[in-house]
Amino acid sequence: MGKLGLGLIGCGGIARSAHLPAMATLADQVVLRACADIDAASARAAAAPWGAAHSTDWRQMLDRPDIQAVVVATPEYLHAEQVVAAAEAGKHVLCEKPIAPSLAEADRMIAACRAAGVNLLIGHSRRFTRRYMEIRAAIDRGEIGAVRLLRENERRSRAIPQVWWTPAHWTGNPQVSGGAPMMNAIHEADLLRWFSGQEAESVQAEINTTIEGNVGVIDFISLTVKFQGGAIGSAEVLNCAPPGYPAFHQLELYGTEGAIRARDHELTGLTRFGDTGADFPGHYEMLLHNLPAYARELAELVAAIRAGRPVVMPPTEARAALEIALAAVRSAHEGVPVRLGGVA
């Protein structure tokens, strides 16, 4: 098999900062053949380095026999329609997280890909981030015994980027954006479940909306998950820190025989202060858009297609993370813990 032909649906921020560089890293294995975005200029710019076709109509690429897989890098409310159509056209799919806004849509996507015999890899990039991979390996080796307590916190400044969570960007539209639970805490939900090795039993959460100009999209969430095997996991995601506040994650795992801690800001050796606040050079780009993770993610899809095997993270795993995130939002609105199973 020669290079794998790719199509890109959605040429915005995550495509420019992560997926297009990942494709370039794997240029010996893949070739981008077509790009689509509702903004014609974005599609043209993404396609130019590859000499690829570009369009505002994403469906055009699905008829091309020289495209074997598509990367869906659009907002979550578009995922189901695009992934199902790609599967029905016989294309393998790498789709950004979260898998979908609802379990019903996630189930439709999974069923369509299964029926078509194509792979669906949901972009939970932290599964492919080196330190998280090493932590999972340490757990598998029994280095901390049985995992009992987990905590993963995430902080982001409201100024990175400045338009997020406001009506100037889709993330600030409560009609289509799930806010922090879907954009950020979906990662935490997945990591808590992955590291505990257990299925969630119940979720309790609190949410808030704090950023000036925000018209109802959740930008803060604190959640606690009780797992069936007895482990307890918690996560706190903040997207409304002041400008200049360092974007970082902090993970703590406590087992019966040891503990593991990982903190992003320990990787930053330089801080500058000025009239506009603190500056952490390269911090946001290095830690949140970790290129090696996205390259590993794409490489996994390519390897699975070539070998005719399933991807290492089946889409049911992404569905399980979605179930936790949706239960957290429901818990916050209802003011009670929510038991898992059937959350719509």
For residue 339, the cross-strand partners are 202
Per-residue pLDDT tens for 172-194? 888 888 888 998 899 999 999 99
Per-residue pLDDT tens for 83-132? 999 999 999 999 999 999 999 999 999 999 999 999 999 999 999 998 89
- DSSP single-letter state for residue 256: S
Whether 218 and 180 have beta carbons less than 8 Å apart is answered as yes
Per-residue pLDDT tens for 288-324? 457 789 999 999 999 999 999 999 999 999 999 999 9
Dihedral pair phi/psi, residue 23, rounded to 5°: -60, -40
For residues 211-233, one letter each, b for 16 or more C-beta atoms within 10 angstroms of the residue's C-beta and e for the rest, the string is: beebeebbbbbbbbbbbeeebbb
Q: Taking all residues of the chain, what is their mean pLDDT, rounded to a whole number?
A: 89
Q: Per mean pLDDT, which range of 29-43, 72-86, 216-230 is the poorest?
A: 216-230
Using the structure block, give the residue that is written with the tokens 């998280």.
Answer: 132
Q: Kindly report the CATH number that applies to the domain delimited by 127-291+323-339.
A: 3.30.360.10
Using the structure block, give the residue that is written with the tokens 């593991």.
Answer: 260
Whether 152 and 249 have beta carbons less than 8 Å apart is answered as yes
Confidence band for 278, pLDDT divided at 50, 70 and 90 = low
3-state DSSP call for residue 201?
Answer: strand
Query: What pLDDT does residue 265 have?
Result: 54
Tokens of 155: 């902080």
Q: Where are the alpha helices (DSSP H) in 3-102?
A: 13-14, 20-25, 40-47, 79-88
Q: How far is Cα 182 from Cα 178, in angstroms, rounded to an integer? A: 5
Mean pLDDT of 205-212: 84
Q: How far is Cα 92 from Cα 113, in angstroms, rounded to an integer? A: 8
Stretch (H or E) spanning 31: strand 30-36
Query: What radius of gyration do the chain's Cα atoms show?
Result: 20
Confidence band for 341, pLDDT divided at 50, 70 and 90 = confident
Mean pLDDT of 28-41: 98
Query: What pLDDT does residue 259 have?
Result: 94
Name the region of 281 (left: φ>0; alpha: ψ -120 to 50; beta: rest). Answer: beta
Task: Tell me the domain boundaries of the chain.
Answer: 4-125+294-310, 127-291+323-339
Q: Which fold has domain 4-125+294-310?
A: Rossmann fold (3.40.50)
Query: What pLDDT does residue 47 have?
Result: 98
